Amino acid sequence: MSEANDLDPTAVRRQFARRAARGGVPEFLLREVERRLLEHLDLVRIDPGAIVDVGCGRGPGLLALRQRYPRAALAGIDVVEGMVRAARSSLAPPRGILARLMRDRTSAAPGLVVADMMQLPLAPSSCDLVWSNLALHWCAQPQEAIGQWHQVLRPGGLAMFSVFGVDTLTQLRAAGATLMPFPDMHDLGDALVHAGFADPVMDMERIDLRYASAGALLDEVRELGGNALRSRFRGLRGGRRRRQWEERIGADAGADGRITLSFEIIYGHAWVPAAKRRADGAVPISFRASAARG
């Protein structure tokens, strides 16, 4: 897996800061993938004491994890202050009678922090579950981010994530759009092993969304993040350019006038071995005295 790509971390932060400031942004795809990722938790046996959501956004994933694991200590990390503020508001503990009813059944309010995915502000071996929904592809150095997951997880801990794959937005690429890179499923599996994880499980599915117009499609793609490449055009694009793109994309409309846009969704999870590799690459070895022989 490539160690770095052409993504500009500053541009990524600015785009998501704008999304946080607008509020009310449709997040159907994010919530649907989150729902399916939660179903993947049904396939594993884990009772985590501490969970971190890497790329928590406004916090809906943390809400779902709190419902599933009410006794766990929760932390959320996002690179954008506006997202963390929104999450803090949505996850604020209840007050009054409801607070008294819930006090003994739920964990404390999650700790929410603004931080980079490649520099998690957590102690080594402090978490049991790293959760990340559609965030890893926004990282310029995904291998380093996966290494951070391994560092903060305890032996026996689990990383579970979703990410857009290489066949995402193929219709736009075919129309000539320059898009950010998306990872290959097999490369992600290799990256997990390289970081020190064991038994990675990867699977993929395709989700097709249909739009009433090319304009609606372009608006949705922009809300998902837009172009954050270092090599992007830095000036302003006029309305004429926008109309050209709408005509080009609209040419692929079906008989009903609707336009399809495809997303490859990769799901992955992997465990930290009981003999966890240290940050310097060494693996601790324990010795037991053999029974005395007569």
User: Computed from CA positions of residues 151, 113, 27, 174, in that sequence, does the dihedral angle turn out positive or negative?
Assistant: negative
With a CB cutoff of 8 Å and minimum separation 6, the contacts of 270 are 158, 159, 192, 197, 198, 199, 200, 201
Range 47-60 average pLDDT = 95
81 assigned to some structural domain = yes
Give, in order, the Cα–Cα distances in Å from 72 to each of 66, 229, 241: 7, 38, 50
With a CB cutoff of 8 Å and minimum separation 6, the contacts of 173 are 179
Residue 116 belongs to what domain range?
Answer: 9-166+180-207+265-271
Q: Which two tokens stand for residue 28?
A: 């159907």
CA distance 1 to 130: 21
Residue 106: which of 64, 43, 44 has the closest Cα? 64
Residue 134: which of 27, 233, 46 has the closest Cα? 27
Which one-letter DSSP state was computed for residue 26?
-
143 assigned to some structural domain = yes
Q: Please tell me the predicted confidence (pLDDT) of residue 289.
A: 46
Q: Please tell me the predicted confidence (pLDDT) of residue 97.
A: 56
Q: Which residue has the higher pLDDT, 285 or 151?
A: 151
184 assigned to some structural domain = yes
294 assigned to some structural domain = no
Q: Is the pLDDT of residue 121 over 90?
A: yes
Query: Coil, strand, or helix at residue 30?
Result: helix
**Residue 288: which pLDDT band, with cuts at 50, 70 and 90?**
very low
Range 251-255 average pLDDT = 87
Total tally of structural domains belonging to the chain: 1
Q: Which residue has the higher pLDDT, 14 or 103?
A: 14
Are 265 and 162 within 8 A, CB to CB? Answer: yes
Amino acid found at 121: P
Are 109 and 92 within 8 A, CB to CB? Answer: yes
Query: 132: alpha, beta or left, given left = phi > 0 and alpha = psi -120 to 50?
Result: beta
32 assigned to some structural domain = yes
27 assigned to some structural domain = yes
Residue 25: which of 215, 221, 173, 183 has the closest Cα? 221
Q: Which of 40-44, 103-107, 136-140, 280-284 has the lowest mean pLDDT?
A: 103-107
Q: Which of 6-10, 107-111, 217-221 has the lowest mean pLDDT?
A: 107-111
**Residue 250: which pLDDT band, with cuts at 50, 70 and 90?**
confident
193 assigned to some structural domain = yes
Give, in order, the Cα–Cα distances in Å from 163 to each of 55, 184, 223, 266: 12, 10, 17, 5
Q: Which residue has the tokens 């579970």?
A: 160
Burial of 137 (0-12, 13-18, 19+ CB in 10 A): buried
Residue 131: which of 87, 156, 161, 164 has the closest Cα? 161
CA distance 67 to 107: 10
Please state the pTM of the whole predicted model. Answer: 0.86
**Residue 67: which pLDDT band, with cuts at 50, 70 and 90?**
very high
Burial of 273 (0-12, 13-18, 19+ CB in 10 A): middle
With a CB cutoff of 8 Å and minimum separation 6, the contacts of 65 are 51, 53, 72, 74, 129, 131
Strand partners, 101: none
220 assigned to some structural domain = no
Tens-digit pLDDT profile for residues 143-182: 999 999 999 999 999 999 999 999 999 988 888 888 888 9
The CATH code of the domain that includes 70 is 3.40.50.150
**Residue 96: which pLDDT band, with cuts at 50, 70 and 90?**
low
Q: Which of 120-124, 172-176, 182-186, 230-234 has the lowest mean pLDDT?
A: 230-234
Q: Which two tokens stand for residue 247?
A: 């005509």
